Structures are given as structure tokens and as C-alpha cells.
Amino acid sequence: MEISEVRIKLMNDPHERLLAFCSITFDVSFVIRDLKIIQGAKGAFVAMPSRKLMDRCPKCHTKNHLRASFCNQCGVRLDENRADKDDAGRARLYADIAHPINSDCRELIQEEVLKAYQQEKISAQQDGYICRYDDFGEEDFARLGPYEEDYEETPVKQPAATESTHIRKNNQVFRIDPGESGSDRSRPHHTAADQPSPNKVSSTENESGGKGKGDAFGSGIV
């Protein structure tokens, strides 16, 4: 058995342990995809493609992954520590979909994959680089449904902060007026000129020449 081709998809986040995805082809006849190159404590290593282990809810029999705290169907609380442990005491949460059954095969795969990984990093720095890994469009953005495009809010113009905003939604145009500014909110409803002055003298007192209240009482009555 020979590894006839290795394809690498590099990950660009330097803060993640996942360095790349890869696929390998044996004897130009059989392909295994979604192997992972992971940065470990002792260097990079190759992890085989795997799936999450699941069990069934005892109440509704729906499948849930072993770390689920609640059932996805009925919502009953589940034991978070129900997964089996390996010899090192770690929970068994994943199972390999494909993996070598002897050390010689594992070393062969890891050696060829890591060699291709180093070559791919060099190729990625060159102009016109194209990744050959086939991800079947999983990184593309989905298309909207035939009726969802009508609900997309599209600004008609870019108004100033004091102008109204117009948006188009479901083939209709709506106007949104701006709220009051900070200066408008702090401004009183009545100005000082509208308020009566405590020192303002009435016309009756002016006509009486400043006499006492008793003299001015009833002076305006005919």
C-alpha cells in the first residue's frame, strides 16, 4: 500500500491548535478525508477523522452527545459525566471513523502528511496559490430564499445625524426620525421669559403709588 496523494487545507488562525485539514489517497484508488493536523505539546501530529459519541435519552429516546446537559428533544436534565473513561481517566467523547491498526501504518501516514504540510506552507506564500483541498463549498455563504430578499434592510441614503433615516423593507419605505439630542432633552419646556418674576409688580400696585394692601383693595371695582 502506498500513499499516492496528500491534499492540505491550511488554517490561518495562529492561536488555534488546529493547523490544517488534509486528505490522503491510497494507491490512486481510495481516499480518506478530514484528517487533522494538530499542534501538540511535543509537536504537530495527525488525528484521524472521527465522530462524536452519542447516547439516547431515557425519557424520549432521542440521541444526544455525551457532553449534553439537557436532552435536545424533551429538555430533561442529563448527567454530564456519563461518558466512559479511558486508561488515562479521560472521557471517551469521540470515535475514529478510519484509523490505522498498527504502528507502521500510523507512522507512514503521519510522516507523509506532515511532509506535505510543510510543502503546502511554502507554496501558500507564493503568488497565485490555490488550495487543492476539496471542501465541497462548505466555506461558501448560503443563498437566501426567494422571499427572504424582500426583508433585507437596505439604507436608501446616508443622512446626517439630525436628519431622518429611510429604510426599505418588504418593498416599502419607512422613515425613522432621530431622537432628541442631549441639548434638546436638557432644555426646559418654558423659557425664563415665560415664567413670572417674583419681583414683578402688578399694574394695580403701580397705579396706587406703592400704597399698602388695604388702600389698594377694591380699587379696580366699578
Task: Answer yes or no: pTM beyond 0.95.
Answer: no
Compute the mean pLDDT over every residue in the chain, rounded to the nearest whole number: 78
Do the beta carbons of residue 46 and residue 154 sit within 8 Å? Answer: no
Chain segment 98-134, per-residue pLDDT in tens: 999 999 999 999 999 999 999 999 999 999 898 888 7
Cα dist from 156 to 86, 146, 152, 166, whole Å: 60, 22, 12, 6
Residue whose grid cell is 484509523: 99
Q: Write out the E strands in 42-169.
A: 43-47, 50-52, 54-56, 63-65, 94-96, 154-155, 165-169
Chain segment 48-99, per-residue pLDDT in tens: 999 999 999 999 999 999 989 999 999 999 998 999 988 888 899 999 999 9
Q: So what's the pLDDT on residue 188?
A: 53
Torsion of CA 153, 159, 164, 165, to 10 degrees: 0
CA-closest candidate to residue 19, choices 123, 95, 103, 120: 120
Contacts of 35 (CB under 8 A, 6+ apart): 21, 22, 23, 24, 46, 47, 48, 49, 109, 113
Q: Is 65 exposed, middle or buried (0-12, 13-18, 19+ CB in 10 A)?
A: middle
Q: How many residues does this entry show for the chain?
A: 222
Chain segment 157-170, per-residue pLDDT in tens: 555 555 566 666 55
Chain segment 180-216, per-residue pLDDT in tens: 555 555 555 555 555 555 555 444 444 445 445 555 5
C-alpha cell recorded at residue 84:
466512559
